[in-house]
Amino acid sequence: MLERKNISPHIRFKGAINIDSLSDQQIGPTCGFEALENIIELCQPAYRGRDLVRADLIGRAHGYNAVDRAGALMVQCYQRILYDYQIVAYWYPFDHQQVLLPALSNNQGVLVIGDAHYLNPEAYRINPSLHAFVLTNYYTDGTGQVIQGYTGVDSNFSFQQRPEQFVQGQNYWTSEAIAQAAQATAPLYRGLSVLVTAGRIGWPLTARFYRRIGDGVLQPVL
């Protein structure tokens, strides 16, 4: 578990909440495209609600020769496509205290390349299962002091089957699951598995974090 007190006290912004409208079901191996679309929608209000994956991103990536034989977007092109949408982003090594938590608290966009088997072993039976997904905030225990995990978007799960996983389109994962997923793929990308936007996102709904209350529901702490 992680302690909230370890997040820099100089960070005064908030992470995104209620991001269910961002979630689109991927078709084929398009998780990279969908994750980039999520980042674009978080950062650029003009593109929200549009199917950028099929309207632009897939064709754009083919123009860059950045689509592999399976139809997946090559990770090396993520930054270039975001830059086309006036979004600067940088790759970082996975680290809870130095990368993920400061970025989310500072309302920056966070995309992770990970092994999805660790996120949901029942759904991702093949190990490794390379996957791109987006983190939007973190959640704590009932005290609000101990960080237990993260919320975000997984394009393979545009809705949740179980009520305890709260709002439609928004997923949550434990800190341990995220760490295992990101660290499993890091060697493939020179240790860099987390893409963080340089600027803050423009999502209108924010909170400092989610707090798990007695019945297991995650409640935003404004």
Residues contacting residue 200 through CB under 8 Å, at least 6 positions apart = 13, 106, 107, 108
Helix, strand or coil, per DSSP, at residue 168: coil
Q: What is the pLDDT of residue 39?
A: 94
Residues contacting residue 83 through CB under 8 Å, at least 6 positions apart = 89
DSSP 11-64: ----EE---GGG-----SS-HHHHHHHHHHHHH-GGGTTS-HIIIIIHHHHHHT
Cis ω before 128 (30° cut-off from 0): yes
Q: For the chain, how many structural domains are there in total?
A: 1
Find the domain containing 54 and state its range. Answer: 2-221
DSSP state of 209: E
**Number of neighbours of residue 36 by Cβ within 10 angstroms:** 30
Q: What is the pLDDT of residue 27?
A: 54
Token pair in block for residue 17: 């909440």
Q: In a structure prediction context, what are the per-residue pLDDT tens digits for the chain, which is 222 residues long?
A: 566 666 655 556 788 887 777 755 545 578 899 899 999 999 998 888 788 888 999 999 999 999 988 888 999 999 999 999 999 999 999 999 899 999 998 899 999 999 888 887 777 666 667 889 999 999 998 888 899 999 998 876 654 444 344 344 678 889 999 999 999 888 888 888 999 999 999 888 899 999 988 776 888 898
DSSP state of 100: I
As a whole number of angstroms, the distance between CA 79 and CA 221 comes to 32
As a whole number of angstroms, the distance between CA 77 and CA 32 comes to 10
Q: What is the pLDDT of residue 163?
A: 39
Q: What is the pLDDT of residue 14?
A: 80
As a whole number of angstroms, the distance between CA 23 and CA 78 comes to 19
The CATH number of the domain where 199 resides is what?
3.90.70.30
As a whole number of angstroms, the distance between CA 132 and CA 31 comes to 6
The three-point CA angle 97-190-139 to 5° equals: 25
User: With contact defined as beta carbons under 8 Å apart, do 55 and 211 qualify?
Assistant: no
